[in-house]
Chain A
């Protein structure tokens, strides 16, 4: 997210402006990164209210330590590293049950609502789609926290293996293994619920 169009300031520029006292720069950083940070933290800390609190803490810590950010590095990786540490701290502190074995429709209203388009398809198709959405969410939720985190960073946020290794502090080989095993576990989870690939 560091190289952008002409009108959109790069992360480093925003950091410099923020350090110079621009409140607008802080706001822009927040606007740019609130969704990925919340998404990552929410995946790690299953409880929504707690996740918001941790996500707030991430930004507060980042803003207070902004002068220590090495501007040659990627800002998103630095921020995700803070998010990772904050979430891990929170999990250790509160002993939160991080593995939701099964998600229900009521736990994923937004997902189900978006995927289940009521205007076009038959009720059977809608139901199948709803089931698929719930199954994917369930597959992600059923992963071990460390697998869940790398899955989000890799497949949702599009980070490279090296960046994930930096964020999580894991060796590169471990990151690759975690991602591989997480993928297999998710596929097994779906297969166990009747989702198998159709040939063709």
Chain B
């Protein structure tokens, strides 16, 4: 088939070259017949039928084991739920005994006391931090410190510029060509 393609192309080009229009048409048909056909996208027909409302889109089949495990789990949970509902009336008074209103209030008050105690500790720490911050800011905003910071920044810019120039001057195309 592949050799025929070569021959068909040659024949067609020769017909075109020599002005044989009718033969050129039939030999070009020959060229196309040797070309492989366009592949069809997988599932194309199913998608068309579904889009045209002629076939339902089928969900992929679930694995057998997974389906039965799910069913068993659902059945078990239903049985357990039913058992719980059956036993609930006999255990309800004792359960209500645990949840006593006085006990609930006690727990709530204890929780509130705990929260406020922690807030108090937090406030002490916060106050200490703010005083440290005030001392530092007053020191840093003084003229000598500001001058030192400005000088430091200028020095850093100078150093960066120097390093940049150094790197640029050391760059060579030799590294590229030898790679």
Contact = CB atoms under 8 A, between A and B. Distances in A.
Contacts of A154: 25, 29
Contacts of B25: 154-155, 179, 183
B113 interface: no
A192 B17 CA distance: 14
A156 B52 contact: no
A180 B41 contact: no
Contact of A195 (B5, B9, B28, B54): B9
Interface in B1-42: 2, 5-6, 9-14, 16-17, 21, 24-25, 28-29, 31-32, 35-41
Given A56-B51, A114-B36, A132 B5 contact: yes
Contact of A34 (B11, B16, B45): B45
Contact of B14 (A121, A132, A197): A197
B31 A39 contact: no
Interface stretch (A5-13, A57-65, A90-98, A165-173): A57-65
Contacts of A63: 52, 54
Interface string A66-106: 00000000000000000000000000000000000000000
Given A63-B52, A115-B2, A183-B16, A198 B10 contact: yes
B36 A30 contact: no
A187 B13 contact: yes
B9 A136 contact: yes
B82 interface: no
B52 A27 contact: no
Contact of B39 (A60, A110, A133): A110
Interface of A: 23, 26-27, 30-31, 34-35, 38-39, 42, 52, 55-56, 59-60, 63-64, 110-111, 114-115, 117, 121, 129, 132-133, 136, 154-156, 158, 179-180, 183-184, 186-187, 190-191, 195-199
Interface residues of B, number: 34
B57 to A, nearest CB: 13
Given A26-B54, A184-B16, 14 more contacts: A23-B49, A30-B49, A35-B38, A38-B41, A56-B47, A56-B48, A60-B52, A114-B36, A121-B2, A132-B6, A183-B28, A190-B9, A190-B13, A199-B14
A115 B16 contact: no
B13 A117 contact: no
A52 B5 contact: no
20 contacts: A23-B54, A26-B54, A30-B45, A35-B37, A60-B52, A110-B36, A115-B36, A129-B6, A133-B5, A155-B28, A155-B31, A183-B24, A183-B25, A184-B16, A187-B12, A187-B13, A187-B17, A190-B9, A190-B13, A197-B14
A37 to B, nearest CB: 10
A199 B10 CA distance: 9
Nearest to A49: B41
Nearest to A28: B45
Contact of B44 (A34, A156, A158): A34
A59 B45 CA distance: 9
A49 B69 CA distance: 40
A184 B28 CA distance: 11
Nearest to B32: A155
